[in-house]
Amino acid sequence: MKTDFDNKPTHIACIMDGNGRWAKQQGKPRTFGHRAGADAVSRCIESCIRHGIPMLTLYAFSSENWNRPSLEVKALMSLLHHFLKEKVSSLEKQDIRLSTIGNTAKLPAKTQQLLNRVVEQTKDNKTLHLVLALSYGSRDEIVEATKKIAHMAQSGQLNPEQITHELFEKHLDTAGMPDPDLLIRTSGEMRISNFLLWQISYTELFVTPTLWPDFSEKEFLEALTDYNTRHRKFGKI
Ligand code: FPP
């Protein structure tokens, strides 16, 4: 069902939480939950296309997730690789552009190569811009941006007085992307977990108790319906 909303987000970001708890509820290993989470990713992409949302950023692997047990990290990397391989042709067919934020140099070499290929192959696609946050941490991103700007100042390319919000944004992984209008977090946790700290300054938040593997069109529509009622003031009255 396609519903018309007066106010629709241009950019939705998702903290996909609850895969482990979902698996536990079924008496299955955590990796089972991640696999079901990948199916929910596909459904979320379909929902964005159905409702004309042009941009979706998914927190797929955080810089802190490297500290999980090595078998779980391996399983997540393998899931990501197979997901990308399987999705290449449908991304093309559905006119989806893929890009990434985060320290992807830490990913397995074969996944980096595959990502580079898919990013290049889909760079002109227009219907949906899908951004995967991979080995992403907002504090790292902010520190890296600060280092780049500090080097510019040190070498005399920049007067510190010229540092503005706009200049700072240009050095973040999200340079050139609009800030998210709506951030969805599943599994009921009221946390941001080091995700897009700079970029969500004025983002509307929607937290659902639904665990990510159960996230479907129903929850997506609830989030859009709720967003439609928000009055965004950006600090004004
Ligand atoms: C959080 O659930 C989820 C993650 C750390 C990884 C997100 C990964 C996916 C949704 C699947 C793969 C994604 C792609 C793009 C193929 P959790 O493990 O922290 O759950 P818990 O809090 O219930 O333990």
Which of 91, 184, 212 maximizes ligand 1 atoms within 8 Å of its Cβ, making it the mutation to test the pocket? 212
Counting Cα atoms < 13 Å in the Cβ hemisphere of 124 gives 1
Ligand 1 center to 2 CA (angstroms): 28
pLDDT at 232: 87
Q: Could you tell me the residue range of the domain that residue 117 belongs to?
A: 11-137+178-228
> How is residue 223 written in tokens?
């989030």
Phi, psi of 11 (to 5 degrees): -130, 120
The residues, ordered by sequence, that sit 6+ positions from 24 with a Cβ below 8 Å of its Cβ are: 30, 33
Ligand 1 center to 137 CA (angstroms): 15
145 assigned to some structural domain: no
pLDDT at 233: 87
18 assigned to some structural domain: yes
Q: What CATH number did the domain enclosing 101 receive?
A: 3.40.1180.10
Distance CA 236, CA 91 (A): 40
187 assigned to some structural domain: yes
How many distinct structural domains can be found in the chain?
Answer: 1
Which of 14, 17, 96, 208 maximizes ligand 1 atoms within 8 Å of its Cβ, making it the mutation to test the pocket? 17
User: Chunked in runs of 10, what are the mean pLDDT values of the chain (237 residues)?
Assistant: 84 98 98 98 98 98 98 98 96 97 98 98 98 98 98 97 98 98 98 98 98 98 97 87
Which ligand 1 atom is at minimum distance from the Cα of 33?
18
113 assigned to some structural domain: yes
* pTM of the full structure: 0.97
33 assigned to some structural domain: yes
What is the distance of C-alpha 17 from the center of its chain?
12
235 assigned to some structural domain: no
16 assigned to some structural domain: yes
166 assigned to some structural domain: no
Who lines ligand 1 at CB under 6 A? 16-21, 34, 37-38, 41, 58, 60, 65, 79-80, 83, 132, 212
